Every structure is written in structure tokens, then in C-alpha cells.
Structure 1
Amino acid sequence: MNVDFIEALEQLEREKGIKKEVLIEAIEAALISGYKRNFNSAANVRVDIDRLRGDVRVFARKQVVEDPEDPRLEISLDAAEQIDPGLQIGDIVEIEVTPRDFGRIAAQTAKQVVTQRIREAERGLIYSEFIDREDDIVNGVVQRQDGKNYYVDLGKIEAVLPFTEVIPGEKFKHNDRVKTYITKVEKTTKGPQVMISRTHPGLLKRLFELEVPEIYDGVVEIKSVSREAGQRSKIAVHTKNPDVDPVGACVGPRGSRVQTIVNELRGEKIDIVRWSEDLTEFVANALSPAKVINVEVDEDEKVARVIVPDYQLSLAIGKEGQNARLAAKLTGCKIDIKSETQSVQTSGAEDLDVEHEVEQ
């Protein structure tokens, strides 16, 4: 190694942000192992790289003793005094033992160490970039797939999109562009791993933030989201500005804003409802598009008992209970829905029970 090598390390420091001194120390440590392996040495050695010229030297470190038992690790006082008259028993003396062809080994080792450190630094930078983008939307290009996952190129890294995180019915081909949501970024032995999703409720939230300026600017706030990917979602919105209609802002002119999001999610139906601090009102809104006659909420138990017109019962419950289930997730309440007729019948039965008790 030579001056050019030192200059190359300095350039790496400027371009990759890897400290020259850190690289040199790593190379020195690797060269110690290389020396012992290539020269079958058990000696205690130190490798020194000149920080200016790049020269590499190997020193055997030996302890000064009265009667050396292992000449690889120990040296007699008489022999040590020939090197430095001031040495005493117990001192450490260094003797240069640089092999003639050690420069070739040093160059190969340095290349390996530098390559590895560059790779580690780049992985670190990629991890730092994507850990900051956790819970955010990214655009990527589908590269390949195996039996369980799609692999999506995000530019600096290939992210993993499990089939379980794909909207039901979606299929991607090579080079398809896809918008996804980063759910997790973690370090692995092979570098950073980025997990992405198309079914996460966060994707819906981020899409509204991108599409609706009022949400992006903070005028309208998304309070909660519930989603059954590919089928139906509900999103609750709120504003403190009395001049702004939060639902209308999300729907957009002639439904253009919400329709863009529906198209992105392959036709998923989206109910946008007004959030309310009053849980009774919020539950009624959450059951949209069904109309509600009455809501009674037990806030301690987080249970809402809802009465709807007879002809609205199936709409309020939804196909296979979907509307009621999404409303429950949105509000955080268990929702019990009854029709007007069912409510009257139940009330009548309770009255009969009371009369029977009185008669007794």
C-alpha cells in the first residue's frame, strides 16, 4: 500500500462518510489475523499503517523475562537490552517482523475490509432513510415474486410485499408500478428489510392526506380509520374550522378526491363520516349510510345500543355484518343493533315480566 491508498481512504471519507481512521483501524485488525493465518504464527503482533505514506509494518510484541519459555511471546533481559538498554523485567518490547511479501496480503485484506465497510455503511444509510419512512406511502416497481411474496424495487432497496398484504383479487406482473405502505423496517444479517402492505388501514389514511389538501394542511383531521381491504372502509374526519365541511373536503368536487382513492384501492367502497366528541352522535354517524332512530351508549362498558327503522336494519348491519363491524372498529364501541319492531317487542316483553312480578 502507498500514498494513493491513503488518498483513496480520504476520498471514501468525503463521499461515503466513513472515517479514514476507522477504516485504517479495521484494516490493521484484519491484517493481524491475516498475518497469523498466512505465516502460521501464534506470536502476539501489532500491525501499524503509516497514516501519511501508507506503509505497513508488523511488530512482534514480547514480554521481557529472566528465562524465556516461549520465544514467540517472551524475550530474555539480555536480548531485550540489545534493542533498548532501558528495558526491564516485565516490559513489552516490539520487534519488526514484517514479511517480504506482506504488501500483497495487506492490499488484498485492505480491499476486502474497505468493501465490507462500504457495504455496511450503505446498509446503515438505507436503514436510516427507511426507518424514518415507516408508516408512510412509497411508490415502487414489482420485480419478481415467489410462493409467498412480491418483491418491489423502491430505488435503493427491494421491499417485501407478502401475498397476505395484497388486496384480495389483486395480481401484479413484472414492472407493474404499485403504491404501498411501509409497515416495518428492521435490520437483518443481510442488511435492512422493508415490509410493505396494500391492506393496512394506514395506506387509506396516507392516501387521503396526499389527495386532500385540507388534511395535509391540518385543517381537517383524520380521527380514526377502519378497513376491510378490497371491500369497504370507514374514515372519521373532524375540523375545528366552522367554515369547512370535513366530509365534503374529503369527497371533493363531484366526488373526484375520494374516487381517485377508490380507484387506487381497486374499487374499495369508502364511507366518510363526521367524527364527534359525543359518542352517541359518533356511533350514529359511523353506521352511515344507514339512518338511526336512537342510540344509547354505556361509556363505561363501551357498548352502544342502536335502534334503526325496520327497512334500514339490513343496511345498518351490512352484508355478513360488515357495516356494523367497521362502525364498531371506527368508534371503539361494541354495537348492538335492533329494528324498531324488535325494540318494541323487547320492551313489551320486559313490561310483561314486570307485571308478572307485581301479581306475584
Structure 2
Amino acid sequence: MLNYKQLNPNKVYLITGAGGFIGYFLSKKLLEQGCTVIGVDNINDYYDVNLKHTRLDQLKPFEKFTFIKGDLADKALITEIFEEKKPNVVVNLAAQAGVRYSIENPDVYIQSNIIGFFNILEACRYYPVEHLVYASSSSVYGANKKVPFEETDFVDTPVSLYASTKKSNELMAHTYSHLYNIPATGLRFFTVYGPMGRPDMAYFGFTDKYFAGESIKIFNNGDFENDLYRDFTYIDDIVLGIERLISHPPAGEGVPHKVFNIGNNNPEKLMTFIGTLEKCLSKTLGKQVEFKKDFEPIKPGDVPATYASTDALQKAVGFKPETSIEDGLQEFVDWYVGYYGVE
């Protein structure tokens, strides 16, 4: 495997957003390999807190897991965690997510994504770490027309505050890497999905609507020829990519800061994705499922296509996503029906 070192169980891994979707699955993977994981999360109510508690409850039996409830914007707390726990590696996945919510509630994005990330960088400055891996987003590509998106593309035209905060994170991390030699890697995630995922994501919302007997809203004007394209990436593939990158900090000449796309490299039309979700529900429920659909104009801040080139990540650590949307959505549906006890 290219440049891929096993994780060291003697090291301490600090994962922020451990109660979140990606943070939970990454924590679990590291704990299963015998690593020491310090999880931090403020368990905010942006979506169902019960789901966050369910994830954390599955981590608590691991002896090497410590959970700290707290907010990244609390500088004293973050400093204390670094001082006491002395993490070797930090994976910053805590953030206020969601494009549309950033239009309604901008304040929380500045608190969490800007001030919170600044506090992480400051802590890495005073308590040096071997590697800081942090979440960026595919939304930094804004309304770029050229696809697939490549890391070298121009990303100075974000179309949502959420995207602006993520672009800011990349700039801040680069500066701190330059000034204080902090090895840092930013990950531009492309539409992550799977069991125990975020209820604010479209596939989860569509499933909720179906069981509530309501129609789903599709923001593509009903234009199937020019349908929205998305690079849907299954959670296991994402976690494998992060796991490999953790032990592969940027090195060599220049600033020790890199940014990678982490996506499926195989975009699907939104309508194809919806059709696959209907098939998976039909299989699990043993009856024909078809969503009631309302077509609406594309929303402010949304972009027509998000599609990643993952060549750079493949070259660096051999990352190649392998989960089809059929398999990934089936896993999600089976989990959903079991977790919510629906029929």
C-alpha cells in the first residue's frame, strides 16, 4: 500500500465532533485497533440529540475512550484538554454543518467553524502535535463549472457562509502551518452518507418523509436532463481515507499543509440516487415503495454539481472508494428501519 503506515496504539488521538456522524465512525475504527481516543462534542441540537447519544453510547464500552462534553469556542477548555491529555494527533470534525442552515442562523457558524477552529490551531501551536487533520468541505468549490473539482482549482467564490467558513479554515491552517510548522491536512468531504448518518441530509429526510406519508421536495426544477449531480460517498470509504491519512502528515520542503478531496469520484444524478433509495426501501419492506415528489427551484447556496477528482488522495495513500450506492443505501435503510422500528 502506498505510503500507508499502521496506526500506533500507543498514541493519543483527539477527535472533535465524536458524537457526530463521521466522528463516531472514525473513533470506533481507531478504538477497535486499540488506540486511545479522546472524544469532544458539545452535543448541540442542530439535529436529534438522541442519535448523538446513541453513537456515543456505542463508544463508551471501549476502555481507551474518554468523552468530554464541551464546545470548541471555549478556549480555556480546549487548552486544558491539550495540556492534560497531550494528544499526538488531532482530527477536527466538529463544525456547524449545513448550507441552508447557514442562511438562517449565521452566528453559530462563526462560533464553531471560525472561533472554534482558531482555538484548535492555537492549542496545536502551544502543545505541538504530529498531525492535525481537519474537515473542510466540497462547498468551497462554490459555483465552479469545471468538473471534476481538483484541489488546484480556484476556490475564492463561495456561495454560502458555511462554504466561507470552510475556506477560512484552509487559510487559517495554512498560516499556522507556515508560522509554527504544524503538519496539517484539510479534507474536502463530498456528500457523506450511511447508517447513523445526519438527519438533515437529503437521503435521511426523504426516508423520514416516506414514513410520515409526506411528499419529498426535489430542488432541480423537475429538469431531469440537467439534474443535480452529487458525489455520494459511503461512510466506510471516508473513514478508511482518514485513517490512512492520519499517519501520513505532510512532509518535505515548503509549508507542511495539504488539502485533499475525499469523495466517491463517481457522481450520480440526484434522481438516480432517489430511485436507488426507493428500491432499497422496497427490498427491506417487501413492498413497492415510491416517493411522492414535489419539484422546486434550486435553493440559494446550492450548487448544480459536486464531483471530486480523488487522484491526489489515491496517489498519497492509495485511497479508492469501493462502496456502490446500492450497497451503501441498503445498509442505511436496514439500519433506519431497525433503529426507528418502522414497518
Q: Which has the larger radius of gyration?
A: 1
Q: Normalised by the size of structure 1, how large is the TM-score?
A: 0.21
Q: Normalised by the size of structure 2, how large is the TM-score?
A: 0.22
Higher relative contact order (CA 8 A, sep 6+): 2
> Higher strand share goes to which structure?
1
